[in-house]
Amino acid sequence: METRALRAFVEVVRQGGFSRAAKTVFVTQSTVSKAVKQLEEQLGFQLLERIGHQSKLTAAGEIVYRRGAAILAQGEDLKAELEELRGLKGGVLRLGVPLIGSNTLFARWFVTYRSLYPEVELRLVEHGSKRLEELVLAGELDLAASLLPVGDEFAWQELRREPIDLLLNADHPLAKRDKLSFKELAEEPFILYGTGFALNPLIMEACRTSGFTPKIAAQSTQVDFIIELVAANLGVALLPRMIIEQRPHPSTRRIPIDRPAIFWHMALIWRRAGYLSHAAQAWLALAGEPEGGIY
């Protein structure tokens, strides 16, 4: 079995199509199609059921994808460990950080880490939690920050647990309340986060638990834009308390929300069975110290 064909198949599944997979592995779409067909011929099983322009995993495809992703990740581990042994990398940390809260959690920490380990090259990737988890499992990141809970395939180390509060327009009828429940927001339009943000499922589940499906007024990956939309009275938003406190706006008001209370519970994650480089271990060690700059 050729690794190139296996990687092409895994990327087709991971990226949701042949054209996106081709961009990821830097080849043409026809090359990816030929590689997947070659893999199917080698294994003697159809891996993808083609329905129009879409493809669906067969039972055999699900097995090959799961095993194949693990094989490719182990290959990345092998190269990383050997290169580190030979001193080819000189210390590289591939770190995934969230689009929300990185300035608070990581900015000072970067400075401390850089001063302690100036030889380590830091390679940053910014995404929502779900995409970062995928990159960690694929062996493309050593560590990433993600919201808890995470799957059993990850090991993790807690970073911060922050209450999620409601942000609404200062002139809103509910703005004078000291505390609110989710149930009281059933008729309010919500401003949610972009696709791939782990906060969205937390918010949606809290609404469902309270007996309603929220009306969505807008979605954005930019916190400042979300706050401005709230200030313009387009809807209400839910953000980690520290994020709201960092960005005070005269036209908004922060109110604690409970029943149910939800939290921005951030952790550093890595593959439980994966190789952890010395650079990554040093980052984790710093994260375990309150004086390291994140508390």
For the cut 80, the answer to whether the pLDDT of residue 71 exceeds it is yes
Q: What's the pLDDT at 193? A: 93
Identify whether the C-beta of residue 139 lies closer than 8 Å to the C-beta of residue 78.
Answer: no
Beta pairing, strands 237-240 & 154-169: antiparallel
For the cut 70, the answer to whether the pLDDT of residue 86 exceeds it is no
Beta pairing, strands 252-258 & 48-51: unpaired
pLDDT digits (tens, 9 = 90+) for 179-228: 999 999 999 999 999 887 889 999 999 999 999 999 999 999 899 999 99
The string of DSSP codes covering 12-65 is HHHHTSHHHHHHHHTS-HHHHHHHHHHHHHHHTS--EEEETTEEEE-HHHHHHH
Q: What's the pLDDT at 294? A: 36
The whole model's pTM is what?
0.67
For the cut 70, the answer to whether the pLDDT of residue 291 exceeds it is no
Burial 150-160 (b: 16+ CB within 10 A, else e): beeebbbeebb
For the cut 60, the answer to whether the pLDDT of residue 153 exceeds it is yes
For the cut 60, the answer to whether the pLDDT of residue 87 exceeds it is no
Span 257-276, average pLDDT: 92
Of 111 and 189, the one with more pLDDT: 189
Span 259-276, average pLDDT: 92
Q: What's the pLDDT at 26? A: 82
Q: What's the pLDDT at 284? A: 92
**Percent share of the chain, pLDDT over 90:** 55
The full set of domains in the chain, from first to last, is 3-71 (1.10.10.10), 85-159+266-292 (3.40.190.10), 160-264 (3.40.190.290)
Q: What's the pLDDT at 16? A: 85
Span 23-31, average pLDDT: 86
